[in-house]
Amino acid sequence: MRRAAFFTHLTDAHRLDVVEQLIPLAQEGGMPMTHLAMAFTIAHPGVTSAIIGPRTMSHLDDLLAGIDVALTDDILDRIDEIVPPGTDVGTLDQAYVPPPSRARPCVVDPSLNGAPPDCVDLPPCAHFCWPAVSFT
């Protein structure tokens, strides 16, 4: 298929390669990847807390078991060799552009002096106002 060639930039190959390099590092440190990831996040001087999103109690138990893991300077340096500081391996998520809103535009009346118009036929959270139509 020729179309498949257009979507090669939307693969997880680079991210998976990074993970494959981090797995042995976690194993050498005697910890699961979840503990390595949490400890790396908390080791950053600009991070005061880490937000976790466990789906199950076993996920939560695993994350809490690694709360006191501290990474050595050697492990932190090796992580920096795998993913140099400032490198972004998550561009696939950031490149996502949501589909356009299906809400209809509101008519903009210049006499409103920049105030949003009343879209009485739409609930307040559903309307999306922009100057699509102008009275001038």
The pLDDT tens digits of the residues spanning 13-48 come to 888 899 999 999 999 999 999 999 999 999 988 888
Q: Which amino acid is at 75?
A: I
Task: Compare 133 and 79 and report the one with higher pLDDT.
Answer: 79
| pLDDT on residue 133 | 44
Largest CA distance in the chain: 70
Q: Are 44 and 79 in contact (CB under 8 A)?
A: no
Which residue, 86, 85, 72, is CA-closest to 25? 72
pTM beyond 0.75, yes or no: no
Helices (DSSP H) in the chain: which residue ranges? 13-28, 33-43, 57-65, 73-82, 91-94
CA gap 10, 13 in Å, rounded:
9
